[in-house]
Amino acid sequence: MIPKLIAEARKIVFKFGSNTLADKEGRINPVFLEEFADQAAAFIKTGKQIVIVSSGAQVAGLSTMDKWARKRDIHYRQALCAVGQVELMDAWKRAFKKSGIHIAQILLTGDDFNDPIRTLNMRNTLFTLVDEGIIPIINENDTVSVEEIKIGENDTLAAQSAILWSADLLILFSDIDGLYNKNPKEYPDAELISEVRDIEAVKKNITIGNTNSFGTGGIATKLEAAKRVIPYGIPTIIANGSRPRVLEALAAGTQSGTAFLA
């Protein structure tokens, strides 16, 4: 089903979490970004359009300002995001430069989606950028939106962006292979659920858990994101973003994941 969804989709929103973008040292992984950019460029040549929702500002900030690593004051968290957002965008810019593709930065807050004028401007900007062959990279404006500095909120942002752009498909990259009946980081016998047609029904039969990113916003917010876009006819895929050549593998059917069908 996943290869079929990708093949039929023209407008795709990709969401990357900090865990997917970071290397083992907790720094932004340029090799991963370059690999994805190469695959994305190949998709664009086939006529597909791409929007990216990217976390990683705090990770990039800590990579630059490691002397702030132990500071927990919210002002330092926001300052890290301010520093890190520059580094994050620079990393994406360098990754796509090899393919001759330009990127654009869009920073949003929840208030932006509640204002009809801002929403119209956001939508027009997205369409203009994509139509001109530029890849918009969206992130929360964490420097001014305190309540958004928490794990998983960019899943919601990705869903809202997919609806705003009238996307054909939403792909949420995680550090696990998809939706399981229970936390695979805790239970070796956890089983992957490859296809979901009724989110509420499947939620009653799985155990999300309460440890690691799986239960602190990781899988829970991805379920909510899928639930949010399905009424708009936008299917969703959850897959492990750290797998080699992940986009190509999903399109070829050689990598597993979970498909939420509209």
Average pLDDT over residues 225-245: 95
- Return the number of other C-beta atoms located less than 10 Å from residue 24's C-beta: 6
Percent of the chain with pLDDT over 70: 87
87: confidence class by pLDDT, cuts 50, 70, 90: confident
The better pLDDT of the pair 75, 239 is held by 239
Q: What is the pTM of this model?
A: 0.90
Tens-digit pLDDT profile for residues 25-60: 778 888 999 999 999 999 999 999 999 999 877 777
**Residue of 70, 81, 59 lying closest to 145 (CA atoms):** 81
76-82: which pairs have CB atoms within 8 A and are 24 or more residues apart? 77/142, 77/149, 78/142, 78/143, 78/144, 78/146, 78/149, 79/143, 81/57, 81/142, 81/143, 81/149, 82/143
Tens-digit pLDDT profile for residues 88-128: 899 999 999 999 999 999 999 888 888 999 999 999 999 99
H helices then E strands: how many in the chain?
Answer: 12, 10
